[in-house]
Structure 1
Amino acid sequence: MARLFLLLLSACAALSAQADEHTVVVNAAAPAKGCVEVEVNGKRTQSISCLNEKLLPNSNTMNRQPPTLSGAEATVQRPSNQLGLYNRAALEHRMGNAFGKSVTPQRPAPAPPASPLLPPR
């Protein structure tokens, strides 16, 4: 047990010594710029969030209305059950508990024949 403790202790010490080699230094940029430059192992890079901001489209293109769809494009974007195409959820509902077991849909049990001698209930 003592050996295991010493082994874990030495492993933790090695990890802390290794962490000093890979320390990340973050230099904050000017507030007006809004980007942070990071230096890792002597290489300087910008943060991913700053690069994403630079790749965003201009505000005038973001506020623009999407183009109107033609009749054919609007039809294509309708759900499959409105177009009369295959829809798994609708098929499962129609087949009931016979889905995956039989090709005939689930139907209620037939009513027993009524006797002409007894009054209806």
Structure 2
Amino acid sequence: MWRIGMMKKSALEIYRTFKQEIAKERIYDNTRGSSVLFEARTGVLRTKTYRAKYEAVDTVCSECGEEEQTAEHLILFCKGLQLRVQDYGAEFFIALALRDREGKIDFKRLEITRRRLSDWWLKSRIE
């Protein structure tokens, strides 16, 4: 039933692809990074590309100026943020703390993702 509800929400595409069951996840710790992680996991992180759907905005990443600012770019590739997840060989869904093929969460990559998203959030408030 819950999967059918998610099918109607395009923003939940990544989440519904990797979310296999309804279960409590101990990945949120009431920090800014966790709040922004939740937005990224559910497809509503307010990147420039996301905001461009609703307002006229340049989509080039403000942090590095190299690519469009998407959640995947910020989390894995942006050189303007600290601790690149890609340096650890993470796939996007693993960096979002969605369970891997063995049903495990990589908590080291999760922490890096939270830090990067928190760093981006703080920098984006200064713009």
Q: Report which of the two has the higher share of helix.
A: 2
**TM-score of the pair, normalised by structure 2:** 0.15
**Higher-RCO chain (CA-CA 8 Å, sequence separation at least 6):** 2
Higher share of residues assigned strand: 1
Larger Rg over CA atoms: 1
Q: Please give the TM-score of this superposition, normalised by the length of structure 1.
A: 0.16
